[in-house]
Structure 1
Amino acid sequence: MPYTPVNSYDGDLKIWSGEPVSHYFDPHLSIGQIIFQEMRRHPQLVAQISASENTVLTRQELHANSMKVASYMRFLGLLQSDVVGLIGRNTTHMPAVAYACFFNGIAFHSLNITYDQSTIEKLFDITKPRLIFCDGDEFEKVRAATASLDVKIITMRNHPKSADSISIDEVLATPIEKNFQPARLELGNDQTLAILCSSGTTGTPKAVTITNSRQILAANHQLTTADIQYSHNTLDWITGLLTTVTSGVFSTTRIIADNAFDPAFALRVIEEYKATWIIQPPSCMAMMVNSPEFETSDLSSLRYFLFGGSRAALEVQQSIRSRLSSDCLQFMYGFTELGALATYNCHFDEKPNSVGRLTNGLKLKIVSEDGQSLGPDEMGEVCIKNNQHWAGYYGNQLETREIRDPQRWYHSGDLGYMDQDGFLYVVERKKDMLKYQNIMYYPNEIESVISEMPDVAEVCVFGVWSNMYGDEAAAAVVKKQGSDLRAQDVVEYVSTRTDSKYKQLNAGAIIVDDLMRSANGKTNRIANKNHYLHVKERS
């Protein structure tokens, strides 16, 4: 079973602390150096299986492919100060590209395939990659977005017939450099490992640097060569990066797939390959629970079921738990800027909806609007410190200073509290606060009520501005398969559960096939609100 974190509390400073970090590897080795040596230790073990492309690679084969891609980068003269761009699915050779970057000490900047040309142009204009690995599906879009850059584009699948495109097969024909060794990092483990993107719910995503640190391994040291990891998330997600790193470090077998997430497919993958470890956003959990195949799927192999990124309805959590052979569903909390898990909850029955206790090496405080530290059961902004170097948002020191203060506390923008037992509860994003007739409330308060309805699969609540009342709550609701749920049913149900005028769905509700999401899969309140207004305008 997973290790349960233990926290201490300093009542004078009002700061919670996780246990000290234990070093399982030489602390001077980079992530790339660790993966390089671990791959050589277990050459015949299966490293990777693509469930969609039907490919299987041993660790020796994946190691060789990674060195070939790294040798290609060295042949082109790429330096550790350069950046490699990624914008692709989990295809057979994408992990080799990531490991090649780790071996060379070159950070990759990974973007989501759903980004439009304008967003790709803005983001890659920040980091100016020398090489970009993308799928042929997005080649034309990427080429147009990077027309002003001096960049080579390598396609990972569906290779276009273009003189500007190089296929990954050509790169893999590169001879491995003689006596190949992973590079020593010029800046040590303060050097940037990868560059991901913030969720972008309030504008163009920011380029978030992830430090080459051990913190990304936190809460996963129990993984062994017997484990089989499965995550559908691509390398632009922190969870996709986490899976790629932990699979290489702990010599697990990793299941990948290059198709869009499909609940029936995911359930089949877990059953067929006997996955022991998965990580998912709540939206995927809800899709699985709502699929016809859920009740007959065998999930008994799972020993670690991690989820996070947003809140999952208790009913969805209970449904998942009912299908597991061990109590292994763990609610996690973290944010991309931290580069790792911050907390995880191994005590569902005692602390439902808590995101758990701090992982090793972290400190946490809850801060009021005026910057004062708060004690247990007092709600304020969640601030976390990991005492590690962070290069910030690439090329954006102004935004960097806003999220991390001079004392190196990350200001998460999340409102929450720590209970008397050191368990964190994240209530809402600060910017999601709504105000009705000068009374403040949070969308989550109404979402929790709607989620109790047996016919509701997912819900997103947002404010619709009224000149008379301020923010009137409205809801976009996904009903369960086969349900006859109507929007008016939702409005009426909420009205029976509260006598507070401001917590009613004063602006109404709509039934939708799926919620609008950001590129990283999180529910996007602004997009759902805009869709709602569009629907109402047409009706």
Structure 2
Amino acid sequence: MSKQAHILHGEGELIAELDFSVGQLLLRQLTIHNTSLAQIDAHTGKEQTFKYILDTSRKLAIYLQKEGLKVNDAVAVCSENNLEFCIPVCATFYLGAIVCPLNPLYSKGELKHALTISKPKYIFISAVALNNMISIFKELHWSPRVLLLNDYGNTDIPWMSMCKAISSISDDNIDNFQAVPVDINNHVTAILCSSGTTGLAKGVMWTDKNITTIIRMYISNSDLANVMSLALLPFFHAYSFALLVIRLIGGSSCIVLSRFEEELFLRSVEKYKIEYLAVVPPIMVFLAKHPLVDKYDLSSVKRIWCGAAPLSEEIQKAVAKRLNISEIKQGYGLTETTLAVLRFPENTAAKFGSVGILVPGVSAKVIPLGEYETDKTLGPNCEGELCFKGDLIMKGYYNDEKSTRATIDKDGWLHTGDVGYYDEEGCFYVVDRIKELIKYKGYQVPPAELEAILLTYSGIKDAAVIGIPNEETGELPMAFVVKQDGANVREKDIIQYVNERVSNPKRLRGGVKFVDSIPKTPSGKILRRVLRHMLKSKL
């Protein structure tokens, strides 16, 4: 078989390459959008224009420049979603420094680990991140400076007395400010944390080229042009961070939610007549099953994009029927691919269960499981590891050459660790993570398949499946189940329901455990390592 057999290439044209850094592009576009509405805080109703973002971020950039921030220095933003999040992001881009968005709800250990990856010179924090930062600050040996996204009043913490709130920074000479030029193809402009579902997070390096490529894709497809959207997913997550940058450059407005509150979410969709929703699977389960949904007018919603974790066909169909929406589409991407490398284009019918077709400029292949440096490629409807190549692929993991080499091979192919296949029409399907497959008597059992079946059971609100060790068989599939409020659900009924719908190796031989909630990342990925730890500690 030749090396080129069964290698797929994304079709379609993008607009011409953008010969700008992300910082230069932002400065230009924010100036053009001027006094148009950029953001509204869903909690307070406060509004912000693009001109405000431009002026405030330029003031901050001049301040940071005077304080000695240089090209390739790192700047962390550790905050929940709010109107101020984008200000240090823009300022850092202008200066050719590196933006490092961080989860403010990290544990102390996780936050220290994430900060130690990039060693930022400046850390912008919100009130939510304050206590964690106080507890670990003395352990950060490179002595970063902390700045506040908002003014939180007086504090008796010694090093906090040196902190400035960005609202207190002033500089009148902003009109002559220019963005710093960089090598667009190679300059690292952002370091995002990988999801850390199987271990500690790694620092994923995005270049200016990575980000300008997604800008070209979205502008080509006009997906977000002139559409009011909802910024619900956390900005520190790759999916939502990319959408934030796209919105600032494209000029569309958004409603910003700092956290998911059921009624506020539904009320915001109704009040602002949201047409486009970018969500993750837990939100889709909520839209499919929660009784509150029927109390609000969601008829404005025309399109839903779902990504970041697998979405079952049953939930997809349930939401389509309940909200009377024909355009519900999945996308597939990793932090390591900047944004989606698989999606259904606008005005293209989606296949239920499929995560899409290749985006323009990206190539894909499916290789046999367990093989790395291989010329073997699999044809349609053959399950294997999904691999991708193109301008969306990360530069690598920051200061981690070993992990980079284990993920991007010598020919530039990114090995995703995901099991999937494509059909005769080039539509891709994701089965599960290689590391999460349950091995029962040599058979590979995908947890996502069992979880999708469990979610169709009327009394189940949420579910997760792991393999539990067994001497005779290797592993047994076991379910963690969250009951719907007031539901009378029994273990034996659930096991019977699943076992009637799966082949013999996939039966729930490990049983069912009822829990109050399923531990997940902010993007909706199930934290199976936490479930295993819960089980071990109980045993």
Query: Is the pair's TM-score, using the shorter chain for normalization, greater than 0.5?
Result: yes
Is there any run of 5+ residues in structure 2 with no aligned partner, and where?
Answer: none
Are 1:23 and 2:15 an aligned pair? yes
Aligned residues of 2:148 and 2:166 also touching (Cα < 8 A): no
Deviation at residue 94 of structure 1 after TM alignment: 1.0
Deviation at residue 83 of structure 1 after TM alignment: 0.2
Deviation at residue 356 of structure 1 after TM alignment: 0.8
Measured against aligned partners, the alpha-carbon deviations of 1:299-329 in whole angstroms (never above 9, x if no partner) come to 2223331111212233322232234454221
Deviation at residue 293 of structure 1 after TM alignment: 1.9
Deviation at residue 470 of structure 1 after TM alignment: 1.5
Deviation at residue 282 of structure 1 after TM alignment: 0.3
CA RMSD of aligned residues (A): 2.4
Deviation at residue 78 of structure 1 after TM alignment: 0.3
The residue correspondences of 1:60-71 to structure 2 (distance < 5 A) are: 60-71=51-62
Deviation at residue 255 of structure 1 after TM alignment: 1.2
Amino acid at match of 2:213: Q
Number of residue-to-residue matches in the alignment: 524
Aligned residues of 2:59 and 2:174 also touching (Cα < 8 A): no
Q: Distance in 2 between matches of 1:393 and 1:401?
A: 9
Aligned residues of 1:231 and 1:280 also touching (Cα < 8 A): no
Deviation at residue 151 of structure 1 after TM alignment: 1.1
Distance 1:349 1:171, change over 3 A: closer
Corresponding residue SS for 1:264: helix
Deviation at residue 368 of structure 1 after TM alignment: 1.1
Match of 2:128 among 133, 137, 160: 137
Counterpart position of 1:3: none
Deviation at residue 160 of structure 1 after TM alignment: 6.1
Distance 1:320 1:348, change over 3 A: farther
Match of 2:438 among 434, 439, 445: 434
Q: Please, which moves more after superposition, 234-243 or 331-340?
A: 234-243
Deviation at residue 164 of structure 1 after TM alignment: 2.2
The residue correspondences of 1:327-342 to structure 2 (distance < 5 A) are: 327-342=326-341
Corresponding residue SS for 2:397: coil
Structure-2-length-normalised TM-score: 0.91
Q: Distance in 1 between matches of 2:296 and 2:313?
A: 21
Q: Distance in 1 between matches of 2:377 and 2:425?
A: 17
Measured against aligned partners, the alpha-carbon deviations of 1:149-200 in whole angstroms (never above 9, x if no partner) come to 2211112244561342366645543215444434233222431221111111
Q: Distance in 2 between matches of 1:58 and 1:504?
A: 55
Corresponding residue SS for 1:374: coil
Corresponding residue SS for 2:191: strand
Deviation at residue 101 of structure 1 after TM alignment: 1.4
Measured against aligned partners, the alpha-carbon deviations of 1:53-80 in whole angstroms (never above 9, x if no partner) come to 3310111112111112212211211001
Q: Distance in 2 between matches of 1:478 and 1:41?
A: 49
Counterpart position of 1:197: 193
Counterpart position of 2:95: 104
Q: Distance in 1 between matches of 2:10 and 2:311?
A: 25
Q: Distance in 2 between matches of 1:300 and 1:496?
A: 37
The residue correspondences of 1:31-430 to structure 2 (distance < 5 A) are: 31-147=22-138, 148-157=141-150, 158=152, 161=155, 162-165=157-160, 169-213=165-209, 214-217=212-215, 219-221=217-219, 222-223=222-223, 226-258=226-258, 260-324=259-323, 326-345=325-344, 351-369=351-369, 370=371, 371=374, 372-387=376-391, 390-430=394-434
Q: Please, which moves more after superposition, 187-196 or 457-466?
A: 187-196
Amino acid at match of 1:384: F
Aligned residues of 2:459 and 2:484 also touching (Cα < 8 A): yes
Structure-1-length-normalised TM-score: 0.91
Distance 1:201 1:223, change over 3 A: closer
Q: Percent identity?
A: 25
Counterpart position of 2:486: 482
Q: Distance in 1 between matches of 2:153 and 2:439?
A: 51
Distance 1:455 1:160, change over 3 A: farther
Q: Please, which moves more after superposition, 124-133 or 443-452?
A: 443-452
Q: Please, which moves more after superposition, 285-294 or 103-112?
A: 285-294
Is there any run of 5+ residues in structure 1 with no aligned partner, and where?
Answer: 1-9
The residue correspondences of 1:435-474 to structure 2 (distance < 5 A) are: 435-474=439-478
Q: Distance in 1 between matches of 2:495 and 2:284?
A: 25
Aligned residues of 1:379 and 1:417 also touching (Cα < 8 A): yes
Distance 1:531 1:345, change over 3 A: farther
Q: Please, which moves more after superposition, 523-532 or 339-348?
A: 339-348
Amino acid at match of 1:308: G
